[in-house]
Chains A and B, each alone.
Chain A
């Protein structure tokens, strides 16, 4: 008997006992969900390569070349020309409807492709030309097409346009990739959305279009009828901006109609099955309604949201998917399932599950640094559940629960959820969250809502009612969904490889990986006489790195409206519709900037080791330490072990090192209030990692915490070093509780591994809740859990085919274990499994 046949004979109960949740899901989900789940292609990369079979999509490039050539005869303003490119694509791209699907739309032309927009930049184009696996069949012919597209767009891309606008030295440092992450463009990064404008059922595309046309008419009238004064000068640009918005909305509506037509044609001319025929007709009806008009049902609401996201991903390469789906789709669930009973609960879960699947299949070609830093996923689709309403009352609803039930059935690694916990969240909701974690999904992460609302008010001055709308703009950072509170583009360039701060203290700012003077030229560390001098150098390097990244992003944000406008995102944002200004214009935004701090904790552990072994115990001199670090600890193994094992480590409730951690954060917080974004607001730090700890492992040299060049960095945020948190989970929480989670930074990621067998059953739920109570009492803002045993993970390493569906929490996101690199896998296994209770 084959293993598969044997498994088919096993009952759900047996599989549950063995905690083989992926087989439980397969046996319990509907046939439709089973088909749809298996029909998608994984778009995340393993290390720097896409999965076999995933190919780069050439269609956008070819269509863009066509519309560019056509545009040369027209003297359109840039923003209109860009909108026309996008519209041409939406009007002509290949569309398809997957069998059994009730929701439609994909960013590329075929399900196995990753979208590529060659107008973005030469660097990305070059990488695609160099890609060893993703060039589509027939390869030789496709390489020629890729070469043709690269050559055509060379010198005409957005990258070419923006680079000269930056300071040359700053840009060279950023482009080295040693300390930052990505280019500061408004078409790559994390786009928040004005959901309060768009998703409350009050308006849809046609309503906005009517308003825009009226605005254009009024402005046009003023230009031609008012006495000419400087006051009408800005109306010319505004009209262009409004006109570009109308082009995008009209194209979006036409695109939906193409799906309606396809669904109707399939139903009327090809589909033999009567049930499926009815479904296709409903798909057609849905696409005739949305996004033109506001949704009337759960299916229409989900389809509306999907179109909004896909259009945005045509306009930009979005690395995140900020969403609060239970809050905005909840009223439709309530109406369809509970009031009018048009849908059964299972039918609704099928729709919700399909919505997760449609999001999971989205893929846009990402450069290697993103592929490596976000292994296993296309971007951080961290969807926010729960939380409170604007008046502070509990916002959890039946759809909150349905999303978590659906997640256990479809088991996608992306999107994941983050639950806004607050004291009024019902036990039933917490139970669902616990079940997701116990089933090994690694999500939802748990966020402390009261702390984060206070934090949003403290750092960015969001009014309380707006702060309460917050969702995750990327993995971790809260952002409101309101007119002036939402952030249209968070440029990933303000992502700091923080381990470089302590590294540069010992290299005087010179980076040995990229062979460049990157940081400040601080004093010779061999001559440091006391720990205060180390701290002074650390501060200088911190300011140098953070200052560089903030300067570059500020410049990018300030120039974005001119260099890379976002006509579609503007069209769905109240502030742009109202003013006729690009959505990224900083004057329209309150500001919600943050610096993501990758590889942060190494700083505290390294500083503590220097203080203890060099200045307190005087066991080593700074000279000896500098020699050892320069040699990458080679030939100094005994000394290296001393620096690991005989110096206090973060996460053990030891004030010696915990005080240093708090000092570092408060020093950054001081600087965060001195730096300002183009909207005039603060730049707080947010320590978290995604898989940047692996991406940067070969770029960060030896450190005093005992790591060598090549070793995985810690797994991020404020999580202790893997295996170094030796005093149990309460000690970890107590260390983290010494940080002020409102005033010391924007948010702080904490990874924890728990035992799946210890937390089985009702007792496990009780223990977990008690753990969360301690977490909440200590005022932490985040925690996320891995609950998969070492045994399962090792088995998955040796027999990956059999464990394709095992999911792990990496950091800020989840991934299928087989979809991450070996080093990342080992790093997860290295994390301490904590016993609680």
Chain B
């Protein structure tokens, strides 16, 4: 698969997540946003981010999950994505939910769905 194809697949995944019906969204128990390997993107108000372990060809929603540890670009995922099957999941011990400071991709999860 060429890099363009890979990226096209990533973008399609991201756009489809954005277009998923909001009215039916259910928050999973283990989500990427609560994993210490997840990093929020700069445009992260929409919930997009990436994984520092998994690479672009991974697919943690597949059954069984597909893990790519070799490619250059990171796996693009979403804050609220179900990470229940991911074997690299590491629950964060410290989450910053205060939205009045600026982006801290490693810690901050200030979106409404992440509030207690």
Q: Known interface pairs A49-B99, A172-B10. Does A368 touch B45 (Cβ–Cβ under 8 Å)?
A: yes
Interface size on A, residues (CB 8 A): 58
Assembly CA distance A367 to B115 (angstroms)? 19
Asked if B112 contacts A131 (CB within 8 A), the reply is yes
Asked if B113 contacts A517 (CB within 8 A), the reply is no
Q: Within A686-704, which residues are at the interface with B (CB < 8 Å)?
A: 691, 694-699
Residue from A122, A135, A710, A821 within 8 A of B19 (CB atoms): A122
Asked if B74 contacts A154 (CB within 8 A), the reply is no
Residues on B with C-beta less than 8 A from A824 are 102
Interface size on B, residues (CB 8 A): 43
Asked if A130 contacts B19 (CB within 8 A), the reply is no
Q: Known interface pairs A172-B11, A514-B74. Does A47 touch B42 (Cβ–Cβ under 8 Å)?
A: no
Residue from A147, A367, A372 within 8 A of B22 (CB atoms): A147
* Stretch of A80-88, A175-183, A277-285, A564-572 that contacts chain B: A175-183
Assembly CA distance A696 to B103 (angstroms)? 8
Asked if A123 contacts B18 (CB within 8 A), the reply is yes
Q: Shortest distance in angstroms between A147's beta carbon and chain B's nearest beta carbon?
A: 4
B37 to A, closest residue via Cβ: A515
**Residue A41, interface by CB 8 Å:** no
Residue from A177, A516, A696, A697 within 8 A of B43 (CB atoms): A177
Asked if A514 contacts B50 (CB within 8 A), the reply is yes
Q: Shortest distance in angstroms between A154's beta carbon and chain B's nearest beta carbon?
A: 4
Q: Known interface pairs A130-B45, A132-B112. Does A172 touch B7 (Cβ–Cβ under 8 Å)?
A: yes
Asked if B113 contacts A169 (CB within 8 A), the reply is no
Q: Within B34-71, which residues are at the interface with A (CB < 8 Å)?
A: 39, 41-48, 50-52
Asked if B103 contacts A372 (CB within 8 A), the reply is yes
Q: Known interface pairs A367-B45, A514-B74. Does A699 touch B103 (Cβ–Cβ under 8 Å)?
A: yes
Assembly CA distance A176 to B74 (angstroms)? 11
Assembly CA distance A369 to B105 (angstroms)? 12
**Residue B1, interface by CB 8 Å:** no
**Residue A116, interface by CB 8 Å:** no
Asked if B72 contacts A48 (CB within 8 A), the reply is no
Residues on B with C-beta less than 8 A from A168 are 4, 7-8, 11
Assembly CA distance A168 to B12 (angstroms)? 11
Residues on A with C-beta less than 8 A from B51 are 515
Q: Shortest distance in angstroms between B70's beta carbon and chain A's nearest beta carbon?
A: 14
B25 to A, closest residue via Cβ: A147
Q: Shortest distance in angstroms between B108's beta carbon and chain A's nearest beta carbon?
A: 8
Q: Within B13-40, which residues are at the interface with A (CB < 8 Å)?
A: 14-15, 18-19, 21-23, 39
Asked if B42 contacts A516 (CB within 8 A), the reply is no
Q: Known interface pairs A48-B99, A514-B41, A823-B102. Does A148 touch B23 (Cβ–Cβ under 8 Å)?
A: yes
Asked if B3 contacts A130 (CB within 8 A), the reply is no
Assembly CA distance A368 to B40 (angstroms)? 12
Provide the A364-383 mask, 1 if CB < 8 A to any CB of B, else 0.
Answer: 00011100100100000000
Q: Shortest distance in angstroms between A598's beta carbon and chain B's nearest beta carbon?
A: 12
Q: Known interface pairs A132-B99, A155-B19, A515-B50. Does A49 touch B74 (Cβ–Cβ under 8 Å)?
A: no
**Residue A510, interface by CB 8 Å:** yes
Asked if A130 contacts B102 (CB within 8 A), the reply is no
Asked if A367 contacts B50 (CB within 8 A), the reply is no
A515 to B, closest residue via Cβ: B74
Assembly CA distance A821 to B108 (angstroms)? 14
B22 to A, closest residue via Cβ: A147
Asked if B39 contacts A130 (CB within 8 A), the reply is no
Assembly CA distance A135 to B23 (angstroms)? 15
Q: Within B67-107, which residues are at the interface with A (CB < 8 Å)?
A: 72-75, 98-106
Residues on A with C-beta less than 8 A from B11 are 163, 168, 171-172, 175
**Residue A46, interface by CB 8 Å:** yes
Q: Known interface pairs A49-B110, A148-B23, A151-B21. Does A698 touch B102 (Cβ–Cβ under 8 Å)?
A: yes
**Residue A822, interface by CB 8 Å:** yes
Asked if B45 contacts A48 (CB within 8 A), the reply is yes
Asked if A130 contacts B52 (CB within 8 A), the reply is no
Q: Identify which of B3, B47, B102 gathers the most chain A CB atoms within 10 Å of its CB.
A: B102
Assembly CA distance A125 to B45 (angstroms)? 10
Residues on B with C-beta less than 8 A from A124 are 46
Residues on A with C-beta less than 8 A from B10 are 172
Asked if B41 contacts A176 (CB within 8 A), the reply is yes
Residue from A47, A126, A129, A171 within 8 A of B102 (CB atoms): A47
B9 to A, closest residue via Cβ: A168
B52 to A, closest residue via Cβ: A515
**Residue A539, interface by CB 8 Å:** no
Asked if A151 contacts B23 (CB within 8 A), the reply is yes
Q: Known interface pairs A515-B39, A515-B52. Does A698 touch B104 (Cβ–Cβ under 8 Å)?
A: yes
Asked if B45 contacts A126 (CB within 8 A), the reply is yes
Assembly CA distance A670 to B21 (angstroms)? 49
Asked if B110 contacts A147 (CB within 8 A), the reply is no
Q: Known interface pairs A130-B111, A131-B112, A172-B11. Does A154 touch B19 (Cβ–Cβ under 8 Å)?
A: yes
Q: Shortest distance in angstroms between A728's beta carbon and chain B's nearest beta carbon?
A: 31
Asked if B46 contacts A130 (CB within 8 A), the reply is yes
Residue from A125, A169, A694, A710 within 8 A of B4 (CB atoms): A169
Asked if A169 contacts B7 (CB within 8 A), the reply is yes
Q: Known interface pairs A48-B110, A130-B46, A176-B42. Does A695 touch B102 (Cβ–Cβ under 8 Å)?
A: yes
B103 to A, closest residue via Cβ: A698
Assembly CA distance A369 to B112 (angstroms)? 17
Assembly CA distance A368 to B46 (angstroms)? 9
Assembly CA distance A695 to B105 (angstroms)? 11
Residue from B46, B72, B100 within 8 A of A49 (CB atoms): B100
Q: Shortest distance in angstroms between A305's beta carbon and chain B's nearest beta carbon?
A: 32
Asked if A132 contacts B110 (CB within 8 A), the reply is yes
Asked if B42 contacts A130 (CB within 8 A), the reply is no
Asked if B46 contacts A126 (CB within 8 A), the reply is yes
Q: Shortest distance in angstroms between A815's beta carbon and chain B's nearest beta carbon?
A: 14
Q: Shortest distance in angstroms between B72's beta carbon and chain A's nearest beta carbon?
A: 5
Asked if A513 contacts B39 (CB within 8 A), the reply is yes
Q: Within A783-837, which residues are at the interface with B (CB < 8 Å)?
A: 821-824
Residues on A with C-beta less than 8 A from B46 are 122-124, 126-127, 130, 367
Residues on A with C-beta less than 8 A from B73 are 515-517
Assembly CA distance A698 to B99 (angstroms)? 14
A517 to B, closest residue via Cβ: B72
Q: Known interface pairs A123-B43, A144-B23, A515-B52. Does A698 touch B111 (Cβ–Cβ under 8 Å)?
A: no
Asked if B105 contacts A513 (CB within 8 A), the reply is yes
Asked if A821 contacts B102 (CB within 8 A), the reply is yes
Asked if A178 contacts B42 (CB within 8 A), the reply is yes
Sample 17 A-B pairs with CB under 8 A, ordered by A number: A46-B100, A49-B99, A49-B110, A122-B15, A126-B46, A126-B47, A130-B111, A130-B112, A147-B21, A151-B22, A176-B42, A368-B43, A369-B43, A372-B102, A372-B103, A516-B73, A698-B102
**7 tightest A-B CB contacts, nearest first:** A177-B42, A515-B74, A127-B45, A368-B45, A147-B22, A130-B111, A122-B18
**With A169-B4, A515-B75, A823-B101 given, can you name 17 additional A-B contacts, CB distance below 8 Å?**
A46-B100, A48-B45, A125-B18, A126-B45, A129-B112, A131-B45, A150-B22, A163-B11, A169-B3, A175-B41, A369-B42, A514-B39, A514-B41, A517-B73, A698-B105, A698-B106, A710-B104
